[in-house]
Structure 1
Amino acid sequence: MGSATPEFLERTFAGERRFDTVYVTANPMYRHVGLDGVFHAVVDVWEDRWDEDRRTVWPEAVVEATRAAREAYPNKRVLTHFMQPHYPFLGETGEAIAHSGIEWTKRLVEEGESSRDDPTVWTLASAGELDEETVRTAYDENLELVLPHVEELVGGTEGRTVVTSDHGNLIGERIAPLDGKRYGYPLQTDVDGLRRVPWLVVEGSARRRIESEPPRENEDIDGSVVRNRLSDLGYVDL
């Protein structure tokens, strides 16, 4: 584990060979940390289903891509990475806050340089420009937004499913004596608020036969397989 997504990815998967798993992700960070060759295939939902206005990927798109991956890779485990409850906050409260999406990471991956269009909610809160109650409300709304989609995937999955998170968030906690309030998910910060996450195990009625196979030589093929399946299901206009 780690206190932020890049630490989680590196500490969990660096040097691993999870050739029995397909990674479906709305988060571009995987491409930045350089973990190619870990999974049998990677489906970058953010490439095809990016919302330019909200600067993120909606949970509906992740559900659709996960279903398509299950169809395309029936003998593989599927690891699904939603963006929510990570900012940008998409609920009523969050919509009223001018704050950054995840365009910083997307630009870093695609262009090699990063920039934000607005400050993050954590920067606004740290500067006293956003009160903690508003931040918590917006965060909770974002969590409530994604949970029905998580439940939908769990309900349609054979075998065992685990629901968890790569890290938590700090909203005004003090992590050391005489320390100021902290917000967000600072790197290399070993505190319970960031490292203690839910771990929900749901047992299904049947277990699929899982097979480990080397990654495809050209990962672009993986994306096209899933995009074609999404088109077949009526989700993507190719």
Structure 2
Amino acid sequence: MRYLTSHQRIFISERATKDMNWQLKRFIEVMSEEGLLTGLRKSYQYVKLDVFKMNRALRYEVPDMFYRPLFERKYGTGIDVLDRDWDNLIVLDAYRYDYFKRHSRFEGELFRELTKGNWSLEWVLGNFRGRDLTDTVCVSGNVFYERLEPDTLFLLKSLGRDPQEITQTALRMNEKYPNKRLIVHYMTPHTPHRGQIAKDLAGPDEEFADIFQLYLNGDISKEKMRQSYVENVNIAESYVESLLEELEGKTVLTSDHGENLGEVQFGLPRVNHGHETVECRFVPWLQLPSGERKEIKKEESKGFDYSDDGVMRERLEALGYM
């Protein structure tokens, strides 16, 4: 794929296929091999007209794919979290910088940093693939760490999205492996929202409403959608607060990517993530006050303790990736 960057290929192979029909996928395949103009010229004979309808892939993902080089020329490609100094890295999924600055209860030295991707898989692979993290235990509600090689980390505890389970497991791992760095990846405030607003708006067959879909349907206001997001931010931080009470060493709070909450780009309303926007790509990097540092040691990897395929599929579907 000479004409596409590695980030663009991830869009095609991991994300865009969710919504693209086979005709559009064929068009993308030809374009990636031979360029846009050649792809258009060669594809017309087997790409039906419905490829060019303003479906989700053409309206959002393809424009984002081609806008990324311009975005990164202006802002850069993102920080490498392994080049930064920390003993504990707490990741709150889809927590954008401006909302963190405005709503977070935590105090420390706050920086606005560019992340390596606009969704979780890009961030995980961009920071950790091919690296030696045998000095690190990762406790995660995000399934995409399972895309790493099994010997990348000293240990991966891959869980569901329940923040209480993530917190309790992280505390056990912290006590069991005091000489290891610790990554704790919470899935909140990532959708689906689990606050009172989402519960009150749920339909008869739902426990929680799909807040973003309600907004896109015109059933709730932008302000109500944003209130639901803040509600989930507060839920996430309440669990982090209890975790921080037990951690030693230097702790950093950050996110893998941000979130769009109704901003307009290229004349299109943006919700969720996966877009090349400042709201998706800029995240908080909060260095908390630290005391005595950990004595970090590398050891032979214990591999993954992860969910089975059925549980993984359920988690991906719940997050909107399948």
TM-score interval, smaller chain: 0.7 to 0.9
User: In 2 relative to 1, CA 34–123 (structure 1 residues): closer, same or farther, beyond 3 Å?
Assistant: farther
Asked whether 1:79 is paired with 2:177, we answer no
Cα distance in structure 2, aligned partners of 1:219 and 1:151: 27
Q: Secondary structure at the match of 2:236?
A: helix
The counterpart of 2:136, out of the listed 6, 11, 21, is: 21
Cα distance in structure 2, aligned partners of 1:3 and 1:98: 28
Match of 2:293 in 1: 207
With normalisation by structure 2, the TM-score equals 0.54
Q: Secondary structure at the match of 2:268?
A: coil
Cα distance in structure 2, aligned partners of 1:212 and 1:89: 37
Deviation at 1:172, TM superposition (A): 0.8
Residue type of the alignment partner of 2:150:
D
Cα distance in structure 2, aligned partners of 1:128 and 1:30: 35
Asked whether 1:38 is paired with 2:38, we answer no
- Matches of residues 159-238 of structure 1 in structure 2 within 5 Å? 159-176=249-266, 179-186=267-274, 189-216=275-302, 219-220=304-305
Deviation at 1:30, TM superposition (A): 2.2
Cα distance in structure 2, aligned partners of 1:200 and 1:72: 26
Residue type of the alignment partner of 1:63:
T
Unmatched runs of 5 consecutive residues or more in structure 1? 47-56, 100-116, 224-238
Asked whether 1:11 is paired with 2:126, we answer yes
Paired residues of 1:20 and 1:39 also in contact (CA < 8 A): yes
Cα distance in structure 2, aligned partners of 1:77 and 1:12: 15
Deviation at 1:127, TM superposition (A): 3.2
Q: Secondary structure at the match of 1:198?
A: strand
Asked whether 1:148 is paired with 2:224, we answer no
With normalisation by structure 1, the TM-score equals 0.72
Match of 2:171 in 1: 67
Paired residues of 1:42 and 1:219 also in contact (CA < 8 A): yes
- Report how many residues are paired: 189
Q: Note the alpha carbon deviations across 1:150-201, whole angstroms, 9 max, x for none.
A: 122223211100001111100111123xx21110002xx3321011111110
Cα distance in structure 1, aligned partners of 2:190 and 2:235: 11
Cα distance in structure 2, aligned partners of 1:30 and 1:95: 29
User: In 2 relative to 1, CA 76–44 (structure 1 residues): closer, same or farther, beyond 3 Å?
Assistant: same
User: In 2 relative to 1, CA 42–120 (structure 1 residues): closer, same or farther, beyond 3 Å?
Assistant: same
Asked whether 1:2 is paired with 2:117, we answer yes
Match of 1:110 in 2: none
Residue type of the alignment partner of 1:96:
D
Cα distance in structure 2, aligned partners of 1:118 and 1:35: 35
Deviation at 1:24, TM superposition (A): 0.2
Residue type of the alignment partner of 1:185:
H
Deviation at 1:12, TM superposition (A): 1.1
- The CA RMSD measured in Å over matched residues stands at 2.3
Paired residues of 2:156 and 2:304 also in contact (CA < 8 A): yes
Identity in percent: 29
